[in-house]
A and B are shown apart, each in its own frame.
Chain A
């Protein structure tokens, strides 16, 4: 950190010249052990490339692509894990199984609907908040306003889901409040319904919407807003004609993130949902547990879910994004 600031002022050359190799790392570098092994490799052009690229390339191929590839491969096998005496052969049955029964494809549809609802609600709710923090709050207190929104998300997935139960349970805060006011006589069943799942999903993922939206809106030059206001545009026109189009990148990446997270959610439907609200994650996981473990079918279902969610996000980016996507 300190060197970095020096460097900006042109301090590095001096430092490097003075660098009489007195620190630990330099002693290592000047030891014969280093000079004739790694040092020699670093001198050589291809050696440098090897040092730079070796570990990352192996890691990314093995750990980033490997698991997905394995899942795809297993999903096309008739049996896995390998058992003695059983020959695993190539088959498409695992994919056919998905379409064969309502029990299997219904949860995917449900996951899809929940994820879409959660995405839409999150966008509508979080947008004004992101706008407020990015444009209305003064620059000095902006990071504090943002911090207040980030803090609850350090708590973690399970704890946040659990805290939703406090609010929605039959003897939870909302029901007790309603009874005290006299609106209801007996508690409304909110937990273990589709309402609690949607509520929990929104509560879990709104951060993923907030950050992209915030950084997109923050980049909109204030002068554009001022100019349009001078030219007589009211708040709604300014929003529709300037802010909304210019924050499109943020909307696209926020929605994609939220949608993908919601599709892959596992704990929330188990803790907040009931038997009629089971989502596709639970269907997949049922293939990996207990006596009836059928891994190839589970892998095929996971592939279907991955394809469905990526295709949805891709289409969404194409339709709404319009402009060329910048990933970072």
Chain B
């Protein structure tokens, strides 16, 4: 039977897959390559290579500041979004029927609304509640965006949880708080961890919400956006490459951890 799949359709699919991988990686690898270019403009072929741009970017105060700012916002977003996301998931998990459906739809709303509209509506909303644009507004916007993803991940895990675990804990005299912290929360662990990594990446990547909610202090995507608009230079490539490396390491590490927990 396998032989049937290994004749021409299989082969065609395989080559198509690798072409697609090439398509995904080619622009990014070109971007990394240009970061070593020994000229102040972007063009091919590369010619001489240098790491001067890296030295320059590492000393770029604006870049370092943007890095710190991005990490700070991402950390705050992750902490808040995880708590709220798990809380909402617990609520939805305990509901039944139509209420559950409605609650789930509302919980997922920010993930479905197109990014631009979400950003605009939040911009209007923070004006209504008299919150100035800036760090708090950015974090709020990122949390709203990240919560649905945490909810979905946690809910998926919650569904696979045997109900008798909670019953057993309650029979043995644990009150609902103890049960939640000692039984449910540890069981949800892997999903929560995955959700947290997702929050980190989501927050540090976000552009449109930060653009409308932010003040004058740029996050990394904002900084790169502004630099691209004001003129190309391999400096941008260096910044993007550094960000790329860091996010890839975080992503791979998370993938490794989740896979390990799945095997165990």
Contacts and interface: CB of A to CB of B under 8 A. Distances in A.
Q: Do A and B come from one complex?
A: yes
A158 B243 CA distance: 11
A160 B182 contact: no
Contacts of B23: 203
B58 interface: no
Most buried by A among B16, B34, B108, B117: B117
B44 A158 contact: no
B93 to A, nearest CB: 10
Interface stretch (A92-100, A127-135, A244-252, A315-323): A127-135
B190 A1 contact: yes
Contacts of A226: 1
A155 B28 contact: yes
A39 B177 CA distance: 8
Interface in A1-36: 1-5, 7-8, 12-13, 16-17, 19, 25-26, 29
Interface in B117-139: 117-125, 127-128
B182 A156 contact: no
Interface of B: 1, 4-5, 9-10, 13-14, 16-17, 20-21, 23-28, 30-31, 34, 41-45, 84, 87-88, 90-91, 94, 101, 103-110, 112-125, 127-128, 140, 143-144, 147, 152, 155-156, 162, 165, 168-169, 172-178, 181-183, 186-187, 189-190, 201, 204-208, 211-212, 221, 224-225, 228-229, 232, 236-237, 240, 243-244, 247-248, 250-252, 255, 259, 261, 264
Contacts of A70: 121, 124-125, 128
Most buried by B among A163, A171, A229: A163
- The 7 A-B residue pairs whose C-beta atoms are closest, nearest first, are A264-B114, A156-B205, A171-B43, A67-B121, A163-B27, A3-B186, A67-B125
Contacts, number: 289
A328 to B, nearest CB: 6
B208 A267 contact: yes
Contacts of A166: 27, 30-31, 34, 42, 237
B21 to A, nearest CB: 6
Contacts of B123: 288
A162 B34 CA distance: 12
24 contacts: A7-B183, A8-B162, A12-B165, A17-B172, A56-B90, A59-B147, A63-B110, A64-B106, A68-B121, A74-B124, A151-B248, A156-B204, A156-B247, A160-B27, A163-B30, A172-B30, A226-B1, A264-B115, A265-B116, A266-B115, A266-B119, A267-B207, A288-B123, A328-B104
Contact of A16 (B30, B182, B244, B264): B182
Interface of A: 1-5, 7-8, 12-13, 16-17, 19, 25-26, 29, 38-39, 42-43, 48, 51-53, 55-57, 59-60, 63-68, 70-71, 74, 80-81, 125-126, 128-129, 131-133, 135-136, 143, 145, 147-152, 154-160, 162-167, 169, 171-173, 176, 203, 206, 226, 229, 235, 260-261, 263-267, 270-271, 281, 284-285, 288, 295, 298-299, 302, 305-306, 309, 327-328
Nearest to A49: B94
Contact of B152 (A38, A56, A328): A328
A309 B225 contact: no
B84 A59 contact: yes
A121 B136 CA distance: 39
A270 B49 CA distance: 31
B25 A260 contact: no
